[in-house]
Amino acid sequence: MSECKRWSDDPMEQLIWVHERQSGLRAIIAVHHTGRGPALGGCRVHTYGSDAEAWKDAIRLASSMTWKCALAGLPYGGGKAVILAPPQLAGDARAAAFRALGRQIERMQGEYITGLDLGSLPTDMDAIRQETAYVTDTTGSLGATDDLTADMTAYGVYLSMRRAARRLGSDDLTGRTVAVQGLGKVGSFLCGYLAQAGARIVVADLDAGRVTRMRQLWGAAAAPVEQIHRTACDIFAPCAIGGILSERSVPELRCRIVAGAANNQLASADQAEQLHARGILYAPDYAINSGGIIVTAAELAGESAAHARRQTEAVPD
């Protein structure tokens, strides 16, 4: 854990290591900033290569949540929970681990509010809710918010693509080629918006079934996962894992704009300079993928889905 000494210099308000023997829970809660309000950010479940890798991911994700909430004008700061998932995290053991996380969140007395994120499920949030009220409701005033969160994230990214495309001369995406990396819920919704706008879509995903579905629904072309970032296109849309824009991959890009939904797309700050030097316009992920957190904030405030959509329409600004 010596790597963590360097990360202690990061401006985190709190970094909490959670290890409960009974449930087997091993998790990290990172609270970056609460100056605007409670730290808001989902709970990620992932199998990390090391504890150090998990700490680094929690810190970066929490930081980006602060910028995301601030730019979206939301009364929240940034936080993140990361569960280091062992292979046996399933069934009763999974429920027990999430209840243990809920007990830790309750001890924080509202400084951090959690919710769904990559790898976590609505049933996991139900388990947390047995121990604390500081968790977003997936079946509240907006109904089942999982699809709405993904839809509004994609909608904000799509609108931001159009704004960025003005650099190409017009915000009309008709006939322009967009390469979408990752076809989870957000990537799939994004393909729908792009198809309706008349864009040509090239897609890639580790799940062949998702690729087939986009080809059938929207006439998308397919590219190998390891080649999608090299596709000749107008816009490259990373919608899968973070760190895709690396020292190796940026020189291989064949696009004029990068605008996608994945969190923490830059492997390091150096890649921002690389993109700039190549004349590639980068729409920062935390600026354009805030539709999901806008939905969460609307849910917490008791607002409607229509209100969340109106707020998402302001994302390109």
Regarding predicted confidence, which is higher, 232 or 91? 232
State the residue for tokens 């390091």.
Answer: 268
pLDDT surpasses 90 at 89: no
Angle value at C-alpha 56, between 53 and 62, nearest 5 degrees: 140
Average pLDDT, the chain: 92
Tens digits of residue pLDDT in 92-113:
899 999 999 999 999 999 999 9
Per-residue confidence band for 147, with pLDDT thresholds at 50, 70 and 90: confident
Give me the mean pLDDT over the 49-78 stretch: 94
The pLDDT value given to residue 1: 45
* Residues near 146 by beta carbon (within 8 Å), at least 6 away in sequence: 116, 122, 138, 185
The pLDDT value given to residue 6: 54
Per-residue confidence band for 168, with pLDDT thresholds at 50, 70 and 90: confident
Query: Would the pTM count as exceeding 0.85?
Result: yes
What is the token pair recorded at 71?
């730019």
- Determine the Cα–Cα distance for residues 16 and 106; give it in Å rounded to an integer: 13
CB 247 within 8 A of CB 158: no
The pLDDT value given to residue 85: 79
Q: Which residues are catalytic?
A: 80
- For 78-88, b/e burial (b = at least 16 CB within 10 A) is bbbbbbbbeee
Tens digits of residue pLDDT in 195-251:
999 999 999 999 999 999 999 999 999 999 999 999 999 999 999 988 999 999 999
H or E element in which residue 222 lies: strand 221-222
The pLDDT value given to residue 172: 96
- Structural domains of the chain, ranges and CATH numbers in brackets: 3-136 (3.40.50.10860), 146-288 (3.40.50.720)
Tens digits of residue pLDDT in 108-120:
999 999 998 888 9
